[in-house]
Amino acid sequence: MVRRLLLLLLLSSQVQAAPADLTCKPNITLSQKDVAELILKQGRRTQEINLQYQQLRLSVAQSLAAYQWNLTASTGYLFDKSVGLQSSTFDKTENLVSQVLLSKSFTTGTTASVEYKRSSFKGDPNANTGGTPRTVATQDLLGLNIYQNIWANFFGIADRGETDAAELNYKSTAILRTNELENTVLDAIRAFWTAYVSEQNFKEAVASRDRSKKLMDAVKKKSGFGYANPGELSQAQAEYEVRVQDVKTFSTAYLRDLDTLNTLLTLPVNCDVKFSVSNVIPTLPQLPEKSVQDLRIIRSEKLRVQAAERAYDAAKSRDAPTLQLVGKIYSYGVEDDGSGAYSDMVSGAHPQYYAGLQFQYLFGVDLLSETRLNRKYAKELEEVRLSRVTQESEDLQAQAQRRVQTTYSAVLSAVEEKKFREKALQELTRSFNQGRTDINIYIDAMNKYSASEIRHSLAIGNYQTALNEWAATRDELIPDAQEE
C-alpha cells in the first residue's frame, strides 16, 4: 500500500493520502493464471453470466407446459325451491355434485381425459305429482375421452417439432455460456497486462525523472564552476520538469488501470497488486490445426439451424384444418345409495359409447400460412448465419495466429532495441561527462532509452494478450469441460 500512497502524493503534494484499506492484504501477488481463476471464482461478470443462463431453463419448461398432467376436482351443494312457468315434480330438491377430471395432452397429437362424477339427489314431491317418483338417488359416472389429430398436427408432428426446437435452442445457447465466460477471462487478462504495462511505464517515468534530476544536478555543478555551455542548465531544468509531468501522467494511468483490474476481480477498493510476471518470454507455440467445425460457436449455430428446421416442420404441419378422431366411453350407475350406484357403474351394465370426427377450420386472417412462411425465413436466416459465422471463425483464427507471430517478432525486436539504447546511453554518458557530447544529443539518448523501455513492456503485454486471444479463438482458453 506504500507504493500506492506514494503515487497519490505524486499527483498532488497538497492531497492527504487516504488510510490503508484494512480489508485488503498488502502486496497481493497476482499472476496471469491467478487472474483467470479469480475472475471465474468471484468475478461479478461471471456471476451475471451464470445467472442469466440459468434463467433460460424456463423456456424448455414452458415448451412442455401443454403436456403436463391436469387434475381438476370440484364439489358443490345445490338447494332448490325455485318455481318456473311449468309445474315441477318437487317442491324442494337438494343436489350434491362431486367431480374429478384428470387430463393430459401427449406429443403424439393425442388428448386424453378420465372423468369420475357422482351426483346425489334428494327431493320432496308435491301433491300434484303422479306416480311414485324417486326421492333419493345417486348417480355415478366414469368416462374416458380421447381426441386424436389426423390432419393438422398429424399424430403430433407439430407438437414434437416445437418441443424439439425449444430444446435445441436451449442447448445452442447453453454452449455459448462458456464462450461468454471465456470472453470475461480474456477481458480480465487484458486488464492484467494493461495494468502491468502501466506499472512498468510508471516505474520507467520515475527512473527517467531521476536520470534527468541527476543530469540537472551535474549541469548545476558544472555551471557553478563556469564550465557549462550557454543554455545547458536551462535545458536540463526544462527536461527535468517534463519528466516530472510524465510521472504524474503515468501514475494516473496506472491507478486507473489498477482500479479496473480490482473491479473486474472483485478485489477491495484501493487494493495494491504485485504482478508476478516471468522475465522469460515464451517461444512462439506450434499448435495443431483447429477445425472450425469443432468450435463452440459453430456447434451452437448448427443447433440453431436444426431448431429452425424443427420449428418450420411444426408450422407446416399446423397450416391445415384441424381434423380429430373422437372416442368416448362412459359407464353409468344409478341406485338409491352411493355404494349401489358405484357397483352398478363398475359392472359396466349401463355403458355409453361414442365415436366420431371433429373438424375445425380457421380462415380470414391466414395466420397459419404466415407463420409457416416466417419459420421458413427463420430457417434460411440461420443457414446463412451459419455460413457467415464459419467463414468469420476461420478468419479470426488466421488473424489471431498472425498477430501472435507479429507481436512475438515485436518482442524480440524490442529486446534488441532496449539493449542497443542502453549501450548508447552508457557511451554517451561517459562522453558527456568528458565534455565531448552536446547536451541535446545526450538528452535525446536518454529519452529514446526511456521510450525503448516503455515499448519493451508494451510489446510483452501485447504478445501475452495475443497468445490468450489466439487460444480463445480455438476454444482453448476455457476447455469444454467447463460448460456444465
- Say what the pLDDT of residue 190 is: 96
CA angle 183, 186, 192 (to 5 degrees): 150
Residues 357-411: tens digit of each pLDDT: 999 998 888 899 999 999 999 999 999 999 999 999 999 999 999 999 999 999 9
Q: pLDDT tens digits, residue range 62-79? A: 999 999 999 999 999 999
pLDDT in tens, 105-120: 999 999 999 999 999 9
Q: Please say if the pLDDT value at position 481 is more than 60.
A: no
On average, the pLDDT of the chain sits at 89
Q: What is the pLDDT of residue 276?
A: 92
Write a three-state SS string for the chain: CHHHHHHHHHHCCCCCCCCCCCCCCCCEEECHHHHHHHHHHHCHHHHHHHHHHHHCHHHHHHHCHHHCCEEEEEEEEEEECCCCCCCCCEEEEEEEEEEEEEEEEECCCEEEEEEEEEEEEEEEECCCCCCCCCCEEEEEEEEEEEEEECECEHHHHHHHHHHHHHHHHHHHHHHHHHHHHHHHHHHHHHHHHHHHHHHHHHHHHHHHHHHHHHHHHHHHHHHHHCCCCCCHHHHHHHHHHHHHHHHHHHHHHHHHHHHHHHHHCCCCCCCCEEECCCCCCCCCCCCCCCCHHHCHHHHHHHHHHHHHHHHHHHHHHHCCCEEEEEEEEEEEEEECCHHHHHHHHHCCCCEEEEEEEEEECCCCCCHHHHHHHHHHHHHHHHHHHHHHHHHHHHHHHHHHHHHHHHHHHHHHHHHHHHHHHHHHHHHHHHHHHCCCCCHHHHHHHHHHHHHHHHHHHHHHHHHHHHHHHHHHHCCCCCCHHHHC
Q: Report the percent of the chain where pLDDT is more than 70.
A: 92
Owner of C-alpha cell 542548465 = 233
Model confidence at 5, pLDDT cuts 50, 70, 90, reads very low
The predicted-structure confidence for 263-317, as pLDDT tens digits, reads as follows 999 988 778 889 999 888 999 998 898 899 999 999 999 999 999 999 999 999 9
Residue 43 has pLDDT above 50, yes or no: yes
* pLDDT bucket at 131, cuts 50 / 70 / 90: low
Q: What is the pLDDT of residue 105?
A: 96
Each residue of 200-229: pLDDT tens digit?
A: 999 999 999 999 999 999 888 888 877 777
The pLDDT value given to residue 6: 39
Mind listing the pLDDT tens digit for each residue in 344-372? Answer: 899 988 999 999 999 999 888 889 999 99
